[in-house]
Amino acid sequence: MARPISRCLLGLGTSSICLFAYAGGAPEPPAAVQHDVVFTEYSPLSGSLELARRMLTPLTFAQLEREAARRNVKLREQSVDLAAEKFALFVPAQTPPQGYALLVFIAPWQGAGVPKLWISALDRHGVIFVTAANSGNTENILERRIPLALIAAHNVMQRYPIDKDRLYIGGMSGGSRVALRMALAYPDVFRAVLIHSGSDRIGTAETPLPAPELFKQFQESMRFVYLTGENDRVNLDTDVESRSSLQHWCAYDIDVEAFPFAGHELAGSREIDLALTALSGHMPPKPDRLASSRVHREQEISAQLQEVRELLGRGKSNEAQALLKKIDSRFAGLAAPMSVEIAQKMTTDP
């Protein structure tokens, strides 16, 4: 779990973004696995303000802005120094006619490497693989793991022709939990997520739902591929809960790949081959099913916000505030901007 964002992203004074010019020209020829790769371009999507806006609940983000204004400080432009960061990169030998697929992988360990058993499958499927060093489970999610993944995707797309319909985020164990959070917050970037031996429910304070326009993209275009060892009982159980929450929130394009004779361990060549095939197999939702589910969720949000108003009207501000916090955790961006407006009214009214 990330450390408190109010401390992590606030920087004293104004901190300028480091800008680097990309040495243009033809991309370097494929060289199989490349180690200690240094990227030079920041992504606008990895900026601290944009990241906070997407990754935090609306009330938490509003609180962060108020605290920054009170202290007269600004969010840092970017939370990582790219000159000090290293990545591992695998590029297939042949460029597919439609462009490469891209798998941005968030590992649970600190080192940056490409799993040897995955290389042949990545090559066959035309998938570029990129992962950051010092981005393991001990690192801060919002300061390092997520921005490094976004920066990796941005730089690979600048260097190589990428098929944007095959742009994937993934990870293992704690890394796959972060990947699911990124799929939820950045459905305008990624089209599928590899959830390998670690998952969470969505619609919680840790995995908040995004704004309606992003959430519609998430529901309509995101594919979810679960890959967990058959003996990894704890994560198999959380996978069931995770998939149930996806379906509750009208996200139905779910695939579960077999991973026999395995515990909590990295997938082998056969399993990753199946997973890569599954990642590219997007199935659009049935319009009637999606529309019906959305109506039910919208009615639920409206009813709970109305309950907050009624509590306020009866002078029960403490109860109203407690319910609004629960709404913010569960519905997050889907309840905004009304949830934020109610919260602001509660702080300004005598």
pLDDT tens digit at each of 350 positions of the chain: 333 333 333 332 222 222 222 233 344 444 489 999 999 999 999 999 999 999 999 999 999 999 999 999 888 899 999 999 999 999 999 999 999 999 999 999 999 999 999 999 999 999 999 999 999 999 999 999 999 999 999 999 999 999 999 999 999 999 999 999 999 999 999 999 999 999 999 999 999 999 999 999 999 999 999 999 999 999 999 999 999 999 999 999 999 999 999 999 999 999 999 999 999 999 999 999 999 999 999 999 999 999 999 999 999 999 999 999 999 999 999 999 999 999 998 877 65
Residue 1 included in any domain: no
* Domain interval for residue 205: 7-285
Q: Please report how the helices 174-185 and 146-159 are oriented relative to each other, as an axis angle in degrees rounded to 10.
A: 70
Local structure of 180: helix, strand or coil: helix
Residue 2 included in any domain: no
Pick the closest to residue 120 from 29, 226, 32, 228 (CA basis). 32
250 vs 292: CA distance, rounded Å? 9
Are 23 and 143 found together in one domain?
yes
Local structure of 139: helix, strand or coil: coil
Residues 6+ positions from 51 with CB-CB distance below 8 Å: 9, 45, 79, 142, 146, 147, 150
Are 12 and 152 found together in one domain?
yes
Pick the closest to residue 189 from 165, 206, 160 (CA basis). 165
Are 281 and 292 found together in one domain?
no
Query: CA quadruple 151, 200, 163, 117: dihedral positive or negative?
Result: positive
Are 134 and 238 found together in one domain?
yes
Are 96 and 241 found together in one domain?
yes
Are 228 and 343 found together in one domain?
no
Are 260 and 178 found together in one domain?
yes
Are 83 and 72 found together in one domain?
yes
Phi-psi region of 63 (alpha: psi -120 to 50; beta: other; left: phi over 0): alpha
Q: CA geometry: angle at 273 spanning 267 and 279, to 5°?
A: 100
Local structure of 75: helix, strand or coil: strand
The CATH number of the domain holding residue 46 is 3.40.50.1820
Local structure of 11: helix, strand or coil: strand
Q: How many domains does the chain have?
A: 2
Are 174 and 319 found together in one domain?
no
Q: Which of 245, 267, 285 is the last residue of a domain?
A: 285
Are 272 and 306 found together in one domain?
no
Which tokens belong to 329? 């955790």
174 vs 171: CA distance, rounded Å? 8
Are 280 and 294 found together in one domain?
no
